[in-house]
């Protein structure tokens, strides 16, 4: 029997997932939470084989929850379930340690199969999104330029970005200007749009 933790803040969705998995016969939902900050303590209390985490959770999001589980409970494998069909979200999930990544609009029967594969030590990545990630062009941005642009995308001003990255405000402005130039963007917002659509912005929690 595969023991599963569900982390989903919408109760109706969580209930539907629980009912769906109950029909599988070999999967048992042993714990649930609707808050990202409860992922780790709930997992430690119930020791699931697989944690099915939504990306958008109050508190710590699913990506941060994945990274935390990787550190404190490495035997619990993670399957991300999300409404986002964006390459950068997939890359952030994989970087955080997720073994599976499925969109919420996938056929219901695929969820149980994905959980089994992840529990068995394999991976379960949405094939269309995986193909996009593999064929996407390499980012022209350096790691620092991408970090600065990602924080700018979150609405941070250069001084705040500088504080978070432990850099000077002038250095941050140079990174942002370089990113805008490399992406042939008219404005900083345009640079954010181009980088986000290409999947070149890191997730702020990773």
The secondary structure of residue 123, as a DSSP letter, is -
Q: What DSSP state is assigned to residue 105?
A: T
Contact indicator for 105, 92 with CB cutoff of 8 Å: no
Per-residue pLDDT averaged across 184-189, rounded?
Answer: 92
pLDDT at 76 over 90: yes
Please give the domain boundaries of the chain with CATH numbers for all domains: 2-135 (3.40.50.2300), 143-198 (1.10.10.10)
Half-sphere exposure of 66 (CA within 13 A, CB side): 30
Q: What is the mean pLDDT of the chain?
A: 89
What is d(CA 71, CA 149) in angstroms, rounded to the nearest whole number?
27
How much is the pLDDT for 172? 93
Cα maximum dimension of the chain: 59
Query: What is d(CA 74, CA 67) in angstroms, rounded to the nearest whole number?
Result: 10
Query: Across residues 155-175, what is the average pLDDT?
Result: 92
Question: What are the tens digits of pLDDT across the range 34-54?
Answer: 999 999 999 999 999 999 999
What's the confidence (pLDDT) of residue 133?
65
């Amino acid at each position: 029997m595969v023991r599963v933790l569900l982390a989903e803040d919408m109760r109706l969705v969580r209930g539907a997932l629980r009912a769906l998995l109950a029909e599988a016969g070999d999967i048992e939902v042993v714990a649930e939470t609707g808050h990202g900050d409860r992922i780790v303590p709930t997992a430690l209390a119930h020791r699931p084989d697989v944690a099915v985490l939504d990306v958008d959770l109050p508190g710590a999001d699913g990506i941060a929850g994945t990274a935390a589980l990787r550190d404190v409970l490495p035997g619990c494998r993670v399957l991300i379930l999300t409404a986002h069909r964006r390459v950068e979200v997939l890359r952030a999930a994989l970087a955080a340690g997720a073994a599976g990544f499925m969109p919420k609009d996938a056929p219901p029967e695929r969820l149980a199969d994905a959980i089994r594969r992840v529990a068995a030590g394999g991976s379960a990545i949405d094939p269309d999104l995986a193909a996009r990630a593999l064929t996407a062009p390499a980012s022209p941005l350096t790691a620092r330029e991408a970090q600065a642009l990602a924080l700018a995308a979150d609405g941070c001003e250069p001084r705040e970005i500088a504080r978070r990255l432990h850099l000077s405000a002038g250095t941050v402005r140079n990174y942002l200007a370089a990113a805008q130039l490399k992406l042939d963007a008219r404005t900083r917002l345009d640079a954010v749009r181009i980088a986000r659509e290409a999947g070149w912005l890191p997730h702020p929690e990773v």
